[in-house]
Amino acid sequence: MSHYDDEAQAEQIKNWWRENWMPLAAGLVLGLGGIFGWEQWKDHQQVRAGEAARMFEDLKTALVADKADEARSIGDKLKTDYANTPYAAQAMLRLAQHAVERSRYDEALPPLAWVADNAADQELRPLAKLREARVLAQQGKFDEALSRLDGVGESYAALVEELRGDIKLAQGDRKAARGAFEKALAASDAAAANRETLQRKIDDLADAA
């Protein structure tokens, strides 16, 4: 390549740079801004998670002290301001458990319904529906309980069918109860602790076979 060719190529590079330096600089600024913005967002999320975790610990302490009103107040703030953290759903489950342990079933239903419809962790939603059904069954609201069970899905099939059997038996439908218990047994793990109980329930309904 000659000296003149070198000069021509250098001139082309200068011209190209004059025409394109602004978009390149803008892209660099945007890229750096995106990196710093992402880091700031991550820091913000970590701070929020820390705040939610502290509030969840305060809620548990309040429940241990049987300060239900204080715990509900904390829970309300968690589900309003920190719904996208795992602590909101866990707080609602704790509130529901506390209410059930004291036979305050009406108080248990709203937090369970919130988890079933809003939990950030999708795995908790069917669990909350199952617990809702149990509470409704405990209240004698059998049709509502069965309706809620239909939305649980396959992840808790054995538990769903056992509860369905218990409800059907309470309603006096022994044949349907036995069928549900048989499904529960078939869906349960071979090492499940309740297999013996399920078999006994099935045997007790031998006349409904």
Residue boundaries of the structural domains of the chain: 23-121, 142-209
pTM over 0.85: no
Confidence of residue 180 (pLDDT cuts 50, 70, 90): very high
Percent of the chain with pLDDT over 70: 82
Candidates 177, 167, 164; CA nearest to 206 is: 177
Confidence of residue 116 (pLDDT cuts 50, 70, 90): very high
pLDDT digits (tens, 9 = 90+) for 121-169: 999 999 999 999 999 999 999 999 999 998 898 889 999 999 999 999 9
pLDDT at 8: 58
pLDDT at 68: 95
Assign a CATH topology to domain 142-209: Methane Monooxygenase Hydroxylase; Chain G, domain 1 (1.20.58)
